[in-house]
Structures are given as C-alpha cells and as structure tokens.
Amino acid sequence: MPRALADRASPTLVDRKDPTMSTPENTYRRGSLVLRGDQIPRLTADASLLQTEQSADWKHTDPWRVLRIQSEFVEGFEALAKVGPAISVFGSARTRPDDPLYECARRIGELLVQRGYAVITGGGPGMMEAANRGAWEAGGTSVGLGIELPHEQGMNQWINRGVNFRYFFARKTMFVKYSQGFIVMPGGFGTMDELFESATLVQTGKTRSFPLVLVGTAYWSGLVDWIRSSMVDAGMIAPGDVGLLHVVDDPEEAVRLATGD
C-alpha cells in the first residue's frame, strides 16, 4: 500500500526515483497541486528552498511571476483605496494639444472634478494627458495608471497620483474597480480593448452596470451601426446590449451620462 502523504511531508530528501514511489496509486500533494507517478518531485518544497546553491533563473519562473503580479494588485489597491468617486477617461495617446478633441477631453476632466469626481486615465500623452490636465487645473485628484511598453511613454505631467504596472490585466482591474463610469474618447486598439472588455464585464454580470459613454459621433457611429446591423442581426448579442453604449459630442452631456447626475 502506498505511504500516506502525511508520512512523506517532511523537509528531508526523499528518493522519488524509487519505482515504488512512481506508481499511479501514489499521490503527492503540494498545496492544491496533485502529483502522481514520475511527476512527484525528488525534493520536498522545504528541502528545495533550503538548498544553498541555486541558480537565479527561478526569478523568471511562473510561480515567481505570481508574486510580482500579487504585488501589483496590492500596490494598486493601496494607491486607489481612498481616491473616492472616480470616472475613467480613455483615448488615443497620439492626439496633439492643438486637436479639438484634446480640448474636449481637457474640459471633461475639468467638469468631472467640478462634480466631485476624481479622474483616472492610462497616464500617457494625448487624450489621457488632456483629461488629467483638466482635473489638475480644476484642483482635483488626477490619477494615472501607467503600463510598461516597448516604446516607453512615461507618465504625463498632470498627474498627482500615479501607479505603473507591468501587466495589463492588473491595470484593467483598477480601472473597473475604482470607476463609477467610463468616458471613451476616439482611440486605437488599446482604447477598443478597454471599451469592449468593460462592455463584456457589464453584459455578463461580472461587474456592476456602469455607463459607457463614447465621445465623438463622427468617430463612433460607424462602429455602433456595425454592432447593431451585424452583431444584433446575426443574433450574436441581444438588442438591449447596444444600449450599454451612449454616443455624444458634448463634454457636458458626456459627464452627465457618466456620473448619472
């Protein structure tokens, strides 16, 4: 009969190459992981930890990455826990300050602060900078959630509370957890990613329902028309799902819809 796990859970070395240790009936448990046969490790977890000569490559293994991921969640939660009511503003990093849409995003940031909301953006240039600038100039809380990218953008100068992330999924969690609504300016793939992920979370009930406001009729109408004519008509989404999206041009209207005021 195979020895019970309790008999083998010591930090001493165990000969896992013994044929009697490699039978399918033999089970070794490490936390929630179940191992059998030749998958059973030669060393217990304690014995492996206490080895004096080890390569530093372990820092690049998935279990170690889990600790880094955990630290990002801890830092994000700690940084944003007391931000208070907030609205996230998304949009292109490529929008220049002389673009009318830049001024629109700046005005949105200003109006949100005047209504008692913090402004959260991705922390970069363009539309993000504009919304942060409006919040800063209005004397409010201006948050930037940056992301590590191959082409480093850095945080814009209009942020008074910023957090940098390695992982998109940790960063996205902060946007959803600490926002009462999303305002989406024209943007590229990153903006679309944030829009459709949030729409999916609301549609599937994974998060509370909150407003998704698209600013720029000329930019967004084609997408919304396609959603209605293709996705709804093909039965891919329910007709009511289109109602998750509100398309406007006016900054005041965008803020009113996003805040529910």
Asked if pLDDT for residue 8 goes beyond 50, the answer is no
Alpha carbons 167 and 235: distance in angstroms, whole number: 34
Are the CB atoms for 40 and 26 separated by under 8 Å?
yes
Asked if pLDDT for residue 12 goes beyond 90, the answer is no
The two three-digit tokens of residue 148, written as one number: 């590590």
**The pLDDT of residue 60:** 65
Sequence letter at residue 248? V
| 95-149 pLDDT per residue, tens | 999 999 999 999 999 999 999 999 999 999 999 999 999 999 999 999 999 998 8
pLDDT range class, residue 19, cuts 50, 70, 90 = very low
The two three-digit tokens of residue 18, written as one number: 């013994």
| 32-80 pLDDT per residue, tens | 566 777 777 777 665 766 677 766 676 667 778 888 889 999 999 999 9
Q: Average pLDDT of 226-244?
A: 94
User: pTM of the entire structure?
Assistant: 0.78
- Mention every residue, 6+ apart, whose C-beta is less than 8 A from residue 35: 27, 28, 29, 41
Residue, of 208 and 17, whose pLDDT is higher: 208
Asked if pLDDT for residue 228 goes beyond 80, the answer is yes
The two three-digit tokens of residue 122, written as one number: 């991705």
Sequence letter at residue 31? G
Decide if domain 71-259 falls under CATH 3.40.50.450.
yes
Alpha carbons 104 and 81: distance in angstroms, whole number: 28
Question: Domain locations in the chain?
Answer: 11-54, 71-259
| 166-218 pLDDT per residue, tens | 899 999 999 999 999 999 999 999 999 999 999 999 999 999 999 999 999 99
